[in-house]
Structure 1
């Protein structure tokens, strides 16, 4: 007899928590591992990771379609085991060639992960999948922070043995997550809607447009993780340890409030409105961070922390909207494929964000910051009308009569 929905949700949450714990422990180490243990140059490592990350985005739609066809449980297990093998291959890297091969394999796995996890969440979460995904996001932040503390131990040791242990721990997290997913019952594919015509997510232009707008807004993530540490340390008088407070405050707020912020955001229209609201909030937060460079020490620190809180609130609005849109605009029988395609739009935004933010915030001066703020507001404002077109298009496709021979 199949387990009840609550048991399924707990089981999947445990699997994802373990996986995010492993991801959090390895994330701060990967560049230093290749530079200090393998002996590659920082420039080559960063360039290789960026190129591999972009290539990896292609895996999402493909693996998503497999999950829709064969069931997300089996595809999820296979994907996690394959990613464990790719992570273990890090121990064999001894030069640039091996580095490029292995990080490409890892990037393909990472590109596939949103499609796999999205399909599992859509199935297990059922009618409450948006709220369930919000709870998972809170757990994700808790796991990533906890993992980063573990990774910090390896970072402090800075030896080949420490990096090897960290890699093995990451591999184990994949395998334990696969075992936990294997404990779920078979999740059969959802039949296509009666009378519906076959439609590929990559051909769904309004849906792609929504994902690209989300990819524009998601620059807030790189703004916090990449630009803010540099801005705080080099451009403001705030103490450098303010950087640690920024990450602690942000993660704490997400863990405590994400589920509450996402409450009531269920339909695509709800999601579009949440994203529209996130744009001005993110823009205001960026303005506060910019202003911190023009005031005294403690005022700068206060502006940075208030800006962090505002940016995190914008993140939570964005995240709630993202889930409602990506799930709500996707046909139930193609959740995996659509989640994979949505992650492509968001992934492209994250990939180009460092270059865009460097050009606007560090090179162009105040004019660049004004442009960035305008981009955030405009992207948020554009989501509701584009999402409405996507929702109408889905309704029309589902209403089309099945062709008769």
Structure 2
């Protein structure tokens, strides 16, 4: 018998529409993300330090939008909130063309960041509805397509970088805006997805931020997700300044990681469905990330050819850790969230992982670039420890949920 409040699997139509919508969005993100700093520095003529500081602060502010957007999606339906959010993001993206000074930059980039911060909660709520009982595997397939879209978009963005003109940046920005509009049209085709206004067992709406075990899991995931800035921020600096590997190795590492995710993510996610299985996957991701960290560090101690080999091996192992983490992340975040509050819970989980992504660059810089070998060892210990802590916290969350259900039962 199907559990009360659980969405039944839907026809393929809504899945195709949502898949196309998310692919369009990530394609736009892939085009614009590598360009945004250079746009503000070279075209708007703002100091690099102020642009980076503004983007960092805006990203932290944007994280606050996740739980609020998730609650709106749970209350009014994720389709309606999703379409509204995408239209607002399209307007914010277009407004970037009006930026002329630092004040305008801060205002507009904060609005853009709020939209981005809301996106994981809204997309999570949509996936929970459209994916039905197969939502974890469906989300894994979407993650593969996300990487394919991002890589494809970055290739188009590379053309703009080569042109390095206001016209090129404007076209790229308009393409990003168009991706929001196209995604809004595709999400609107889903039809109304009815909200779950309250917990059918207790008659109340449980607040995700008050669910301490769930918040703890999200924060542990936020520690593990620092593999993202490790690959995107630390490794390029490490390769260029601390190893004998040629600088084009950076692009090779990115390409290898993307290809592995596109090809293997769905396979890695098979058999990871329940919160318990997700917790064990997150536990395994910690040692994999730690092993990759050691391989990348070792690349600084060897000649060029060996350095390239170690960096590629480290990237491959890091990507295995990423795929295992991603599978576990979906199983835990969807499985521990009550059906009536998927949007809010996905927003809170996104808050935890978003914090890890935001603080990752300065933490990694301190440990790996300033602290020396002991910092790298400490990073490995943090990753292994965070992964090891997840299963016990997930069991606590499941026990807490069971106790609440028992207390609500007549």
**What TM-score bracket applies, with the shorter chain setting the length?**
over 0.9
Q: Is the 8 A contact 1:195 1:399 kept in 2?
A: no
Find the counterpart in structure 2 of residue 148 from structure 1: 154
The aligned runs of 1:241-390 (5 Å cut-off) are 241-390=248-397
Deviation at 1:3, TM superposition (A): 11
| Equivalence for 1:36 | 42
Counterpart Cα distance in 1 of 2:200 and 2:224: 36
Query: Cα deviations across residues 307-353 of structure 1 (Å, max 9, x unaligned)?
Result: 10000000000000000011000000100000001000101111110
Q: CA deviation at 1:72?
A: 0.4
SS class of match (1:29): helix
How many Å apart are 1:395 and its aligned residue? Answer: 1.7
Among residues 77, 87, 111, which one is paired with 2:93 in the alignment? 87
Q: Does 2:112 align with 1:102?
A: no
Which whole-Å CA distance do the structure 1 matches of 2:350 and 2:61 have between them? 13
Moved over 6 A (4+): none
CA distance in 1, matches of 2:240, 2:303: 14
Asked whether the 8 Å contact 2:74–2:197 carries over to 1, the reply is: no
| Structure 2, unaligned runs of 5 or more | 1-7
Give the drift of 1:45: 0.5
TM-score, normalised by the number of residues in structure 2:
0.96
Kindly provide the CA deviation profile for residues 208-229 of structure 1, in whole angstroms up to 9, marking residues without a partner as x. 0000000000110000000001
The gaps in structure 1 that reach 5 residues or longer are none
Distance 1:216 1:4 in 2: 35
Contact 2:229/2:361 (<8 A) preserved: yes
Aligned residues of 2:199 and 2:205 also touching (Cα < 8 A):
no
Aligned to 2:75: 69
CA distance in 2, matches of 1:279, 1:317: 9
Would you say how many aligned residue pairs link Structure 1 and Structure 2?
402
1:55 has 2:58 as partner: no
**Counterpart of 1:14?**
20
Q: Pairwise mapping of residues 183-262 of structure 1 onto structure 2 (< 5 A)?
A: 183-190=189-196, 192-196=198-202, 197-262=204-269
Secondary structure of the 2:244 match is coil
C-alpha displacement of 1:6: 1.5
Name the CA distance, whole Å, in 1 between partners of 2:409 and 2:381: 45
Identify which range, 391-400 or 379-388, moves more after superposition: 391-400
Hey, what's the Cα distance between the residues in 1 that align with 2:390 and 2:408?
30
Task: Say whether the 8 Å CA contact 2:283–2:391 is kept in structure 1.
Answer: yes
Q: 1:303–1:3: structure 2 CA closer, same or farther, 3 Å change rule?
A: closer
Q: CA deviation at 1:191?
A: 5.4
Give the deviation of 1:287 after TM superposition. 0.2
Is the alpha carbon distance of 1:401 and 1:4 closer, same or farther for their aligned partners in structure 2, counting shifts above 3 Å? closer
Look up the SS of the partner of 1:36 in the other structure: helix
1:159 aligns with 165
| CA deviation vs aligned residue, 1:286-317 (integer Å, no higher than 9, x gap) | 00000000011111100000110000000000
